Amino acid sequence: MNPVPSPPPLDVEACALAPVAAKAAPSAIVIFGATGDLTHRKIVPALYQLAKQGRLPEETAVFGYARRPKSDLEFRAGLRAALEQVAHVRPVHAEAWEKLAARIWYVQGDLDDPAGYARLRERLASVPGAALLEDRALYYLATAPSFFGVVADHLATAGLAPGNQGGASRRLIVEKPFGEDLASAQELNRALHRAFPEETLFRIDHYLGKETVQNLLYFRFGNSIYEPLWNRRYVDHVQITVAERLGVETRGDYYDATGAARDMLQNHMFQLLSLVAMEPPASLDAHAIHDEKVKVLRSIPTPSSEEILAASVRAQYGAGTIGGRAILPYRREPRVQPSSRTETFVAWKLEVDNWRWSGVPFYLRTGKALARQVTEINIVFRPPPSVLFAAVCGAKLGRNGLRIRIQPNEGIHLQFNAKTPGLPAIQRADLHFRYGEEFARYLPEAYERLLLDALAGDSTLFTRRDEVEEAWRLVDALRAAWKNESRADLPLYEPGSMGPEESDALLARDGREWQPVHYD
């Protein structure tokens, strides 16, 4: 009898999309605000890793633009020293760094000084190999949002924006926050569009560059066993948690003017929600994916103030300890107003009113000084009839759940009911998939993938104008309801907890509870 042949190994190359590096042509990368923290902690380490892996076109040139006087050598030395402080790149490979450093230059100039942009234009044209760049440029605005429109206008005046010899091969990356509300986001979009058409704008949200977030599309639409269950018939509710263990630390002035809803809910959390709830796109084309994400946000009706107050919780952390470290109450943190009503925690129950999700609540929560540093999505399924097992497990069977861990310990975990060995009883069991164990390779940092995609002109993992504006529509309604709320003060929660009692009560009223958060 001949043995049954084993299935052939999965041809990863046949299933993969074309490598992004193959699509990215050599370009000039210009970093505005190049002496700042973002450049040193994220942007340049990402470029170094890409260069080390051979994924960055060798002719790529990097230009730092900032107001501090520096020589090229001083700028390179500062970047090299900063690399040594980045855990995931240590130890720095000397040969790889020197090869990249030879293509790094510095231009001194103020963000609102036309003379600086004239110097930049001259430098772009004069460095070795400039002719190979063929007017291709990626401008990265690692600056305060108030300068986004200023830089875009000056680039246009200097002949460095799209439409001036370079067309759509000149692109602009902007960081969050993208506006403070819907009106300011719309005004910022109009200001940027004066010089950069929408297809050349890349609004970065680093959560979208995480491998586990990208995997949501592949997991949902590449597996026949899950997609048929991904709807109101089988899903009881969805939970999305973005928990931070640190307090506001040294960012008190920024955070007190922003709050949890604008800092995390408007961007990261609504992006995760839209990826979980979206319909299958017609293709993996960026426009097709963005179209489906926008449909999700548009399917969330603007709630009334009464509905929002009944379905949301906001709070501040009080005094306490986390891991033996004392935490000041939020209002006593440096650069926070003593009478501040800015929320450090928010939970909100929303519903997506479409054919797939009508009646399924989405519970979102995010906060500072919580028990865990974790981001995860929990899909909680409807329970099966329990009469068959009522004698051994009581009136209720445990619900099946699918936990998608975004960070840390990235992975996917399936919770199901199983017989307890040796007993006529049922208990919960888990199946685990962990990226770190399954794939014996380096897990790229988010900025690595995002920079490569921007160089290639692929906006799939960036946010489009209408996505930003729809998210602000909802957050504006939330903040307006809070502003008119009659309560005298915000509830407090203890640092090291998972939020205030009111957050637990929000789900308890619906006969549900937050899924426990573990390090696994």
d(CA 385, CA 471): 38
d(CA 481, CA 311): 11
The pLDDT value recorded for residue 397 is: 73
| 3-state secondary structure at position 441 | coil
Phi and psi at residue 366, in whole multiples of 5°? -155, 150
Q: pLDDT by residue for the chain (520 residues), tens digit each?
A: 444 444 444 444 444 443 343 467 889 999 999 999 999 999 999 999 999 988 998 899 999 999 999 999 999 999 999 999 887 777 888 899 999 999 999 999 999 999 999 999 999 999 888 887 878 899 999 998 899 999 999 999 999 998 644 445 899 999 888 999 999 999 999 999 999 999 999 999 888 888 888 888 888 898 888 889 999 999 999 999 999 999 998 888 889 999 999 999 999 999 999 999 999 999 888 999 999 999 999 999 999 999 999 999 999 999 999 988 999 999 999 999 999 999 999 999 999 999 999 999 999 999 999 999 999 999 999 988 777 776 666 656 778 999 999 988 888 999 888 877 877 777 788 888 887 777 766 677 889 999 999 998 899 999 999 999 999 999 999 999 999 887 778 999 999 999 999 999 999 999 999 998 865 5
d(CA 285, CA 49): 26
The pLDDT value recorded for residue 102 is: 94
CA distance from start to end of the chain: 45
H helices of 439-519, in order, are: 446-456, 465-483, 501-508
The pLDDT value recorded for residue 7 is: 42
d(CA 498, CA 365): 10
The pLDDT value recorded for residue 201 is: 94
The pLDDT value recorded for residue 344 is: 97
Q: Which residues are known to be catalytic?
A: 268
The pLDDT value recorded for residue 14 is: 41
Cβ contact 334:250 at 8 Å: yes
Predicted TM-score of the model (pTM): 0.90
Structural domains in the chain?
14-203 (3.40.50.720), 208-378+447-508 (3.30.360.10)
